[in-house]
Structures are given as structure tokens and as C-alpha cells.
């Protein structure tokens, strides 16, 4: 869905580096989410936000932080990247608790 965008689309970084993944949406949705996808493990929720002043931890938040800069922007940071954070990361948005729309994903490799 072109209304949810993620940057960068691919990133290779080294252990210990700080990295930020960004998500923007033009759908006007209030809720935004960050997921991590690993083979055989499905989509696991890292953080979610129901509005600009609301940030909540998901099931695998350790090692990650987020910032909701505006209703349309939600960033995910890895303060000190480690190899087991190599994964495909998806941002998603929803209007209330309804259908979630996913961004195109960011493939992150930590060497």
C-alpha cells in the first residue's frame, strides 16, 4: 500500500552501531506499529502507538526504542545493533482497532 512508506528499504550495519528506521503514512490513521519478521516466527510486535503521546511495548521491545514524532511518523531505533537483530522490519497503521496496513518493509542486516 503506497500510503505507508518505510526508509530505508535495505540497510547493512555493524555491531554496536545506532540505526533508525522510519515510517510515514498518509492514511490519516491514529495507530502505528512496528513488527519484526523472522523465518518461522511470523510477525512479532516490537512497539505500538495509539496517538502521538501514547507509546507501548510489544512482546519483543528489548534492544529497541521508538519515537512518534507526529501522527504520520513513527520511528524505530536500535541503540546498539547486534547480529540477532538481523530481520525484516515492518511498520503498520490502523484506524482504531481495525484492519492493519503494512509498509513495504526494511531488510536490516547487522554484521
Partner 1 sequence: GENVEQHPSTLSVQEGDSAVIKCTYSDSASNYFPWYKQELGKRPQLIIDIRSNVGEKKDQRIAVTLNKTAKHFSLHITETQPEDSAVYFCAARPLWGNKLVFGAGTILRVKS
C-beta separation of 66 from 49 below 8 A: yes
Q: How far apart are the first and last CA of the chain?
A: 30
Quote the least distance from Cβ 16 to partner 1, whole Å.
29
Q: Which stretch binds partner 1 (CB under 8 A): 20-28, 64-72, 78-86, 95-103?
A: 95-103
Provide the mask over 25-44, with x wherever binding to partner 1 is found by CB under 8 A and - wherever it is not.
Answer: ------x-x------xxxxx
Quote the least distance from Cβ 35 to partner 1, whole Å.
8
**Where does this chain bind partner 1 (CB under 8 A)?**
1, 31, 33, 40-45, 48, 50, 58, 90, 97, 99-105
Amino acid at each position: 500500500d503506497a500510503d505507508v512508506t518505510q526508509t530505508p528499504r535495505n540497510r547493512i550495519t555493524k555491531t554496536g552501531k545506532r540505526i533508525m528506521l522510519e515510517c510515514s503514512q498518509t492514511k490519516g490513521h491514529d495507530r502505528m506499529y512496528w513488527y519484526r519478521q523472522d523465518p518461522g516466527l511470523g510477525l512479532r510486535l516490537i512497539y505500538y502507538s495509539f496517538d502521538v503521546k501514547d507509546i507501548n511495548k510489544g512482546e519483543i521491545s528489548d534492544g529497541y526504542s521508538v519515537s512518534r514524532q507526529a501522527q504520520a511518523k513513527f520511528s524505530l531505533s536500535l541503540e546498539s545493533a547486534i547480529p540477532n537483530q538481523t530481520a525484516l522490519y515492518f511498520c503498520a497503521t490502523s484506524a482504531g482497532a481495525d484492519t492493519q496496513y503494512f509498509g513495504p518493509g526494511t531488510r536490516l542486516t547487522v554484521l
